[in-house]
Structure 1
Amino acid sequence: MNKHFVLNSKVRIASQTNGKHHFFGYYGTCPWNKNETKLLVLETDIIDRLPQKNDTARVCVINQETEQEEVIGETKSWNWQQGCMLQWLPPYDEQVVWNAREGEKQGAVMFNVRTKETKKISCSIYSVHPNGIEALSLDFAYLNKVREGYGYAGVAEEDEKEKGIYRINIETGERRLIISLESLKAYKTNSQMNGEVHWVDHLEYNQSGKRFCFFHRCKTKDGRFYERLYSASSDGSELRLLLDTGMVTHVAWKGDNDILTWGREESALVRISAKGGWLKYVLPIYHKLGISKFSKGILRNRIIGDKFLLIDEMSGKWEKIGEGILENGHPSFSPDKKWIITDTYPKKHWRKLILFNPNSRKNIEVGKFYALPKKGDNISGSWDLSGMRCDLHPRWNRSGTAICIDSVHEGARQVYVLDIENIIKNNG
């Protein structure tokens, strides 16, 4: 057994990068092109601090046949958790897009890997519509101010007086505010969303692009976070509040109609907290100690009812997924929607990669990986819970046979591909 990782006997792992630090970023976005001959990654020189305004990440394409790495661009608009929103544009064969700033101005770059043509876009992108023309965005400077580690250092806030969700045309750069923060604050008002700091994030289109989901988050006066899950039509209309229990994190669409999220049911304890009972004082301690983010999912479930919920986006009704089995992590559905791949937060510096079948409730440990990099001046025992941490952030290939992860188990931040085809075949 390798002392830094343990693999399921039916799984093969292949390192995609070496040398300097590499990663892709968030889960749920496929780093492969359509025929899976090219893989997108970012290359960096640092690992032990949050990126500052002058830190550059190089955008690279790895040829899956020759294993050669080609630098196709660079960016100063990036973070450890979501990278630079690097992704293939539909139809996922030649065009790549990523966020990059000019001076302090937010923007993005389109690059054609065949013709080598580059086109600059006058605004940043968050989630790209399946038509490859439209996208959703937000103010990454404001996001960095209210939630450091998810926005970008060194970019200036946009001039608009109102913050919120923008709909942009990638080809023309035209941008329009479709949902404002002020409208969300006033929507079905909740006394617990009483803080002055509000923001939106985790914008994600459904499979057809007709609707998208997002989080509205608020830092309350007692230092907690209160979070809501919404959906809306692609133009910002037909707003639906899907979950309003104070805690929601990590989402994945299952086709067009269902949203998987790690969230909180409306338990008796939550109702007591909302009415000002004793839990009102216990929950802030729970959050401030960090238990709310990094504790075991099963522990959270037993205390206040956190679990994976599959929400019908039309009716708002939900069903529990993997209750008593799965923990908080970064989930996504396989292309055929039969499997969920997810990870865990570290326990004793180890992260797990989990494959779960919702129908059979079969839970398969694909592997576990050591969560601390090689020791250095700024690498402490709590590094894997910090803003520099390296979550596995599992991502499916387009065939549903392999998973791409970021990991530090060999000492540096690198990108790996795990072949899980044998598990899929043997478990239906």
Structure 2
Amino acid sequence: MNKFESLVYNAVKNNPIIKLMLRNAYQGVFDILPNRKDYSINPIVAKEGFFFGFHDLNPFHTNDSLLLANRYLIPKRMPNPGEELEVGYFNKNDFWSEFKPLARTKAWNYHKGCRLQWLDNESVIFNDRESNRFVSRIYHQNGEFLKTLDYPIDSCSQDGRMASSFSYERLEELMGGYGYPYADGEAFLEEYFPKQTGLFTIDIGANTRELLVSIEELKTIGEVPRYVSEQTHFVTHTLFSPDGRYLAFLHRSVKREAALKRWSRLLVYDLKKGECHAAPTDDMVSHYVWNEKNQIIAYCRLEGVDSHILFESPTMEKYRRVAYPRLNSDGHQSFASDTIFVTDTYPDKWRMAKLYLVDTKTNEVQYLASLNSLKSFQSIMGQHWACDLHPRMNHTGNMVCFDSVHTGKRALCLMPLS
């Protein structure tokens, strides 16, 4: 953001409706002018008709030979109950040309897909709907069905033993477009702080679930502002640390009758000690990921300033600001190494979404791409079909994949960085 945009943003950032109206009007003025041209540092391979979803999961196989993908089967609109998404993967050996389908699912959205992810080197897991309940399916990469878990998952530990979970009905009601269009009987939406639901862990081998932290218990962890006591609280964006010891998540609340005004914070649960740590942020945390050193990069508001913050340990007591003010707008991060991450931006006034490579040691920022985010893909109230780039690095750190609509269709894209 330039200085003027930053000034306006800071003035309206706590009022989502006014912020949305001003953004639409601002972009509308520039819609009159000729479009900016797409730019990328290297050629982009775009697989139209496919997408992956959020930035926090790695769709690449551990040896980078396979790339998980979702194929959508409906036109550009929100999915209705019962409508399916096809899951599968592309193979590097045939230059990512042929899609191998594995299965279909009825539990999905555009932003986070069906939480398709590698469970180990041979199998994948994703959410589905069965007999009026949410489940998760495990398939071998050769297409063989292996197992159904009785619960939906959000993220899995790297050893494939545990998964995180929460109420997708509660999430969909309080953060539309991130859950699924079904009831699960565990939302307890009439309660601000229900004790029956919250953050769950799943033992994948035993097919059992445990309530790790209830939403009611979240009131007692760290400092919760008094003004959110009459907001409806929920859990989302859960992610295990690489070593499996910690489980990070966002604790959010929303004033449902006040135009979706949200409060959020980042928490990290120590599964070994049974302790929960709260980040020393103000009232906003949007996106985060772990690196292999158990550090967290998060876009958040800290000391009144919105920026990328590197938390040096899971307790989040020590931290430093990264690449500010060069990067002063929200983004979705993915680590290329322990010190370098890729991030994106939301569409600017020209409707151009950008990709950057960031060095946390030197604060150097490399400009990777600027791609058109077509107006027809702009979400409207209650219809969250926008396509964020959501960049995701491969394990080698030399290729990024992302979702984009710059070709005119939603597409899963690949771009080498070397």
Alpha-carbon offset, residue 60 of structure 1 = 1.8
Corresponding residue number in structure 1 for 2:346: 345
Match among 187, 190, 193 for residue 228 of structure 2: 193
Q: Is the 8 A contact 1:75 1:100 kept in 2?
A: yes
Corresponding residue number in structure 2 for 1:310: 310
Q: Is the 8 A contact 1:195 1:218 kept in 2?
A: no
Corresponding residue number in structure 2 for 1:393: 390
Rounded Cα–Cα distance in structure 1 between residues aligned with 2:382 and 2:308: 21
Match among 190, 209, 226 for residue 175 of structure 1: 209
Q: Which moved more, 1:394-403 or 1:58-67?
A: 58-67
Q: Is the 8 A contact 2:379 2:385 kept in 1?
A: no
Rounded Cα–Cα distance in structure 2 between residues aligned with 1:126 and 1:50: 20
- Alignment of 1:331 with 2:333, yes or no, is yes
2:169 alignment partner, SS class: helix
Residues 369-412 of structure 1: per-residue CA shift (max 9 Å, x gap): 11017xxxxx3766699611100100011111100011111111
Q: Is the 8 A contact 2:127 2:137 kept in 1?
A: yes
Corresponding residue number in structure 2 for 1:131: 159
TM-score normalised per structure 2: 0.83
Corresponding residue number in structure 2 for 1:321: 322
- Cα 1:318–1:6 change in 2 (3 A) is same
- Alignment of 1:166 with 2:200, yes or no, is yes
Q: Which amino acid aligns with 1:63?
A: N
Corresponding residue number in structure 1 for 2:409: 412
Corresponding residue number in structure 2 for 1:273: none
1:141 alignment partner, SS class: helix
Match among 346, 357, 360 for residue 358 of structure 1: 360
Q: Which moved more, 1:138-147 or 1:46-55?
A: 46-55
Rounded Cα–Cα distance in structure 1 between residues aligned with 2:249 and 2:230: 19
- Cα 1:162–1:381 change in 2 (3 A) is closer
- Cα 1:35–1:345 change in 2 (3 A) is same
Match among 86, 100, 103 for residue 116 of structure 2: 86
Q: Which amino acid aligns with 1:43?
A: R
What RMSD in Å do the two structures reach over aligned CA positions? 2.3
Alpha-carbon offset, residue 173 of structure 1 = 1.4
Corresponding residue number in structure 2 for 1:263: 300
Rounded Cα–Cα distance in structure 2 between residues aligned with 1:382 and 1:182: 32
Q: Is the 8 A contact 2:167 2:184 kept in 1?
A: no
- Cα 1:222–1:28 change in 2 (3 A) is closer
2:332 alignment partner, SS class: coil
Alpha-carbon offset, residue 235 of structure 1 = 6.3
Rounded Cα–Cα distance in structure 2 between residues aligned with 1:264 and 1:159: 29
Q: Which moved more, 1:129-138 or 1:358-367?
A: 358-367
Corresponding residue number in structure 1 for 2:245: 210
Corresponding residue number in structure 2 for 1:232: 269
Q: Which amino acid aligns with 1:98?
A: F
Alpha-carbon offset, residue 28 of structure 1 = 2.6
Q: Is the 8 A contact 1:105 1:156 kept in 2?
A: yes
Rounded Cα–Cα distance in structure 1 between residues aligned with 2:385 and 2:187: 30
- Cα 1:236–1:213 change in 2 (3 A) is farther
Q: Is the 8 A contact 1:47 1:388 kept in 2?
A: no
Alpha-carbon offset, residue 338 of structure 1 = 2.7
Q: Which amino acid aligns with 1:168?
A: I
- Cα 1:7–1:380 change in 2 (3 A) is closer
How many aligned residue pairs are there?
A: 370
2:216 alignment partner, SS class: helix
2:101 alignment partner, SS class: strand
Rounded Cα–Cα distance in structure 2 between residues aligned with 1:95 and 1:192: 45
Residues 301-331 of structure 1: per-residue CA shift (max 9 Å, x gap): xxxx111111233352321111111121001
Rounded Cα–Cα distance in structure 2 between residues aligned with 1:126 and 1:380: 25
Residues 336-372 of structure 1: per-residue CA shift (max 9 Å, x gap): 3131100000012110011111222221111111101
Q: Which amino acid aligns with 2:138?
A: M
Unaligned stretches of 5+ residues in structure 1: 268-304, 374-378, 422-428
1:65 alignment partner, SS class: helix
Rounded Cα–Cα distance in structure 1 between residues aligned with 2:343 and 2:286: 13
Residues 112-156 of structure 1: per-residue CA shift (max 9 Å, x gap): 013623311111111101210111111111211111111111242
Residues 16-61 of structure 1: per-residue CA shift (max 9 Å, x gap): x23xx21000103111212222211111123532222122101122
Alpha-carbon offset, residue 253 of structure 1 = 1.4
Rounded Cα–Cα distance in structure 2 between residues aligned with 1:157 and 1:49: 26
Rounded Cα–Cα distance in structure 2 between residues aligned with 1:370 and 1:79: 22
TM-score normalised per structure 1: 0.81
Alpha-carbon offset, residue 185 of structure 1 = 2.2
Q: Is the 8 A contact 1:372 1:383 kept in 2?
A: no
Give percent identity, aligned residues only: 28
Unaligned stretches of 5+ residues in structure 2: 1-34, 189-194
Q: Is the 8 A contact 1:211 1:232 kept in 2?
A: yes
Alpha-carbon offset, residue 190 of structure 1 = 2.1
Residues 157-176 of structure 1: per-residue CA shift (max 9 Å, x gap): 33896110101011221000
Rounded Cα–Cα distance in structure 1 between residues aligned with 2:298 and 2:81: 33
Rounded Cα–Cα distance in structure 2 between residues aligned with 1:83 and 1:385: 17
Rounded Cα–Cα distance in structure 1 between residues aligned with 2:70 and 2:377: 24
1:145 alignment partner, SS class: helix
- Cα 1:186–1:359 change in 2 (3 A) is closer
Rounded Cα–Cα distance in structure 2 between residues aligned with 1:236 and 1:370: 47
